[in-house]
Amino acid sequence: MAEDNPSEIPGMNLDNKYSSKPPIIPKNDEKVQKEMEKVRKELEKLKNWIIKKYPFTQSLSILPPQSTQIFVEEEEIPKETEKYIQLYMIIPEEKYIEKLKNGGRLINEIKTEIVKEIEKTKQKIWLQIKSPVDIWENCLDSKFELTSAISMSLPLYDKGFLGVLRLAEIHKNLVLRKFERYVVSYVLAGSLIRGDATPTSDADVFIIINDTDVKKMPRLELKERLRGIIYQYVAEAAALAGVKNTLHIQTYLLTDFWEAVKDAHPVMFTFIRDGIPIYDRGTFMPWKSLLKMGKLKPSPESIDLFMKTADKTKEIIERRLIDAMIDVYYGVLNPSQALIMLYGSSPPVPKETYQKMEEIFVKKEKMLKKSDIKIVEKAIKMFKNYEHDPKYKVSGKEIDELVKESDIYLKKLKELRKMIEKNTQEKTIEQIYENVFELLKNIVGKMSQEKTLEEFEKNFVKKGKFTPQHLKIIKEIVDARKQTKKGKANMKIVDDARKNSVILINDLIEYIQRCDLVSLEKGRMKIKYKEGIGELLSADNKTFFFTGNSVKKITNKLEDSTMNEVSDALNNQKKLGNIQINPETFKVLKKEIGDFEIVL
């Protein structure tokens, strides 16, 4: 057996021909399809009139021609209508009951009015008006072929009932084609049975599989494999049905289902009571009849089991109330810590979150009122009480208040986030702007923004020292700053400015460093004297002499100096430009160290 093929199930020869012929999905040949399409166009006007006159209509459709004989036999339709177009109209059960008042006179009035309109089309049309209950009654009478024909009718108008029914019917047939002999019942439930299905409603389906004659594999594995096969057909059925609905399928093994019924499981009782089979091999309907007769009764053991469950109800409810309190606690705490981090602070421990919120957003930024964050303090206190007292309890009223207050608080936090992001954007753009123009000042000199841009373009971009892209980035930063001040900037504008500024700032710094290096090299020279090699460095109209690990400053003699004094001189030299060396410096140096020569 191939493990990767879920359709190969030991004990189930799915390829054998079954003892009973599997249902065939109705298909119209090409000629019939063309004729039905033509009729559908001719009936468009009739359909519009019916819907306008009777807006409660659930669906209008044309029954498949090959199924007409079945309806003639089962619904006692005049035999001469076999070759007529069978127009099938479904209306809600409550409307159907309403129209059946006074001996059926009103329902006949509806039919009479529609027949008059039918005569105007000059088509041979036979009208049937039914409710969903009529269709389910056919199923309860095991007239599954009628329901199958209705599901495969050509829809003229459908509020969802017909589409969901068609989806279930196609899926049922796909399943039966694969392993009909093992399907005991295929049962519908939910909105489809209630008659309130919509074009997006899902259908609830229960499938019961006979596992009593499968011996070659564990029952749990059998169930999982069958369920996998059945689910594979859901998407295929939806595509064939041409609907957006889907199926919620519950698959039960016959032995498990019967055990649940004996144990009085409420889900199974509800399933039997409300479900409608569209396929049944004589199992589901007897259960349904036995339930109505009161013959399906729980065992004493199952009653005791459910009674014990009831005894734990209070404990379960109290536990869930505590769980709800914990959910509110984290629902309030986590976003509070997130906004503290967004502001730029490190996340506080839970017990300090309230104080941090108050310190930053109430006292410092004044973005919130103290009353706005009371829920944080309250939630933390309740959680702390719970941690220290295993028997701590909380009432439903307290939970209702917590939920209400937390909802208001979370709305406040959404507004707070917008304010923080706006402030962050403003600070980010302003910092980028200041960093860029401070560097530009070192390059072009101190001048206005407009003059800085003109000077940078004229003497640096056009002369090839920087690219047009650099100028474009600067202008984008200026524009982003303007947009931010007007409150029109968004995260993309700010993020683009931040990313591009990294490239620009690195290139500006590199250029300044190159210029500084060239400038420093002009004031640096090596000298050779009897003690060895030394170095002179001139900056800020001062000259320093480096020898070994010592730094000396040359005035009218050699004086001790420090690297801090050297750094200050170098920084001041950047502003001066040209380097000047006093000729007296060399005389003083010769006097102090003797003869020397400059080494190139």
Say which amino acid occupies 266. P
Residues 595, 530 contacting (CB under 8 angstroms): yes
Residues 6+ apart with CB under 8 A from 68: 81, 82, 83, 84, 86
Residues 255, 260, 263, 265, Cα dihedral to 10°: -170
Look up tokens 């109330």; give the residue.
Answer: 321
Determine the Cα–Cα distance for residues 515 and 414; give it in Å rounded to an integer.
49
- Which residues have CB under 8 Å from 525's CB, separation 6+? 535, 536, 598, 599
pLDDT computed for residue 262 by the predictor: 73
pLDDT under 70: residue ranges of the chain: 1-32, 35-36, 38-40, 95-107, 215-216, 264, 297-311, 516-522, 574-577, 600
Sign of CA dihedral 197, 198, 199, 200: negative
Residue 439 near residue 513, CB atoms below 8 Å: no
pTM of the full predicted structure? Answer: 0.49
CA distance 136 to 146: 10
pLDDT at 6: 41
Per-residue model confidence (pLDDT) at position 577: 63
What number of CA atoms fall less than 13 Å from residue 448's CA on the CB side?
A: 3
Q: By the 8 A CB rule, do 569 and 525 touch?
A: no
Helix (H, G, I), strand (E, B) or coil at 234: helix
Max Cα distance, the chain (Å): 138
Put residue 361 in one of left, alpha, beta given phi > 0 → left and psi -120 to 50 → alpha. Answer: alpha
CA atoms within 13 A on the CB side of 525: 15
Give me 435's structure tokens.
């960093």
Using DSSP's 3-state secondary structure scheme, residue 281 falls into coil
Is the Cα torsion angle 454, 456, 457, 459 positive or negative in sign?
Answer: positive
Which helix (H) or strand (E) segment holds residue 329: the answer is helix 313-343
Q: For residue 405, which amino acid is it? A: E
Residue 357: which residues within 8 A CB-CB, separation 6 or more?
336, 340, 368, 373, 376
CB 157 within 8 A of CB 47: yes
Selection from 243, 88, 74 nearest residue 146 by Cα: 74
Q: Beta strand pairing status for 550-554 and 542-547? A: antiparallel
* Strand order from edge to edge, sheet including 203-209: 247-253, 203-209, 183-189, 276-280
Distance between CA 169 and CA 182 in Å, rounded?
18
Closest residue by Cα to residue 394 from 324, 289, 344, 480:
324
Residue 123's Cβ-side half-sphere holds a number of Cα atoms within 13 Å equal to 24
CA-nearest of 58, 56, 241, 86 to 163 is 241
Q: In angstroms, rounded to a whole number, what is the distance separating the alpha carbons of residues 484 and 165? A: 57
Tokens of 379: 């939630």
8 A C-beta contact, residue 552 and residue 558: yes
Rounded Cα–Cα distance for residues 304 and 17 (Å)? 47
